[in-house]
Amino acid sequence: MKTLASLLTATALTATSAQAVDLEVTHWWTSGGEAAAVAEFAKAFTEGTDNTWVDGAIAGGGGTARPVMISRITGGDPMGATQFNHGQQALELVEAGLMLDLTDVAEAEGWKDLVNPSSLLDSCTVDGRIYCVPVNIHSPQWIWLSNGAYEKVGLPVPTNWDEFVASGPALREAGIVPLAMGNQAWQSNLAFDAMAVAIAGPDAWVDVVSNKNVELARGDVYAKVFQAAADARSLREGSNVQDWNQATNMVITGEAGGQIMGDWAQGEFAVAEKVAGEDYTCLPGLGVNEVISTGGDAFYFPKNDDPAIEAAQKELASVMMSKAVQVAFNLKKGSLPVRGDVDLSAANDCMKKGLAILAAGNILPGLDQSLSPDAVGQIEDLMTEFWASESITAEDAQSRYADIIESAG
């Protein structure tokens, strides 16, 4: 016969396991490096709590994934947690009351004192309440170069954008595509934006995207950026790939000289067992201005009536912010952690460059922190057209760009 004590224990156990939740987490991390990184979150959540991570990867990049995520949340079929970029992408959902308030977790764990830079937590904050957990700092302003391609043509690896442009003809002659670029709107815009920071300079860039300085966007400084981008169009000819990681792969194999891409590209080099400084070279700020922007990824937790789900959501938020998980995830992701009190001795050369720039405070806001999703979308459409066809002149593109900035302001 069971004793009362053992019955009570059994009941307690049943009660605990009844609370265990299968939590679906959506994100757009489907490349090799991204999958390796997100597996660290899944492992920590499933092994470290009673709950189970149910992976809801959506292929095709953020531009494809975000509309799916948003329509599930607004359509009454919310997932347990979902990725968005830092900034305004989820603002309307928060304002509509659809996201769980995480302020109690954030206060209990002292996120305000931990998260660096504080702009990351500000991006999660609406009317004084915290609605997301920032998980990383990603900067898009990098160029990734194939040391092997330069060895093949007998040129030193470029140290900045101008040297890269100058190396284009030699690469082309050797059958190497100078600039790998995937054919998706966000990638076209990322390349333009990184060039704007390098050529117009970080202050001008902030003035245009954050302060909506239309005169600057219409003026000579930005004319130089558009001209440089128009010139760079020919460098990407022959880059017939769609996804960003396919373009990164062209750099890994030496089929291409370089790619302008965010520091998540590091994850692909790592999976391919390539060594920074030996097999490839990374230049933050395209080697012109050593800056990074502090965009990246944050997780939001759509509201749910079930208290067990809510408890699991808060546990996941806490796991994502924890020291060990910040290190394990970010080392694989190629991003910087959101807290400064973690041990990053295992960082590679590129990540060390990023950390030094962050420590020096040479940081910019992310594009999604500066402009609404609607304005970003309009610029992405323009950039898709501009990079794809020589028929849009630098002047036309500049004037359309300035119009978008003007209406965003």
Residues 84-113 within binding reach of ligand BGC (CB under 6 A): 85
Which one, 297 or 380, has the nearer CB to ligand BGC?
297
Work out which of 28, 142, 150, 205 binds ligand BGC, going by CB under 6 A: 28
- What would the x/- binding string for ligand BGC be over residues 244 to 283, using CB under 6 A? x-------------------x-------------------
- For the CB of residue 27, give the shortest distance to ligand BGC in the complex, in Å: 8
Which one, 34 or 380, has the nearer CB to ligand BGC?
34
DSSP run (H or E) holding 266: helix 265-271
Which one, 338 or 394, has the nearer CB to ligand BGC?
338
- For the CB of residue 186, give the shortest distance to ligand BGC in the complex, in Å: 7
Which one, 285 or 296, has the nearer CB to ligand BGC?
296
Work out which of 26, 34, 171, 321 binds ligand BGC, going by CB under 6 A: 34
Q: 3-state secondary structure string, 300-368?
A: ECECCCCHHHHHHHHHHHHHHHCHHHHHHHHHHHCCECCECCCCCCCCCHHHHHHHHHHHCCCEECCHH
Which one, 121 or 309, has the nearer CB to ligand BGC?
121
How many other CB atoms sit within 10 Å of the CB of residue 151?
12
> Is residue 373 part of the contact set for ligand BGC (CB under 6 A)?
no
- For the CB of residue 43, give the shortest distance to ligand BGC in the complex, in Å: 18
- For the CB of residue 245, give the shortest distance to ligand BGC in the complex, in Å: 8
CA distance 283 to 69: 33
DSSP state of 243: S
> Is residue 138 part of the contact set for ligand BGC (CB under 6 A)?
yes
Reduced to 3 states (helix: H, G, I; strand: E, B; else coil), residue 135 is: coil
Which one, 213 or 294, has the nearer CB to ligand BGC?
294
- For the CB of residue 380, give the shortest distance to ligand BGC in the complex, in Å: 12
Q: 198 and 285 in contact (C-beta within 8 Å)? A: yes
Answer positive or negative: Cα dihedral of 220, 402, 236, 157.
Answer: positive
- For the CB of residue 133, give the shortest distance to ligand BGC in the complex, in Å: 14
Peptide bond into 67 cis (omega under 30): no
Which one, 35 or 311, has the nearer CB to ligand BGC?
35
> Is residue 61 part of the contact set for ligand BGC (CB under 6 A)?
yes
CA dihedral 89, 92, 94, 98 (to 10 degrees): -110
DSSP string across 189-237: HHHHHHHHHHHT-HHHHHHHHTT--HHHHHSHHHHHHHHHHHHHGGGGT
**Site residues, ligand BGC (CB under 6 A):** 28, 34, 61-62, 85, 138, 244, 264, 296-297
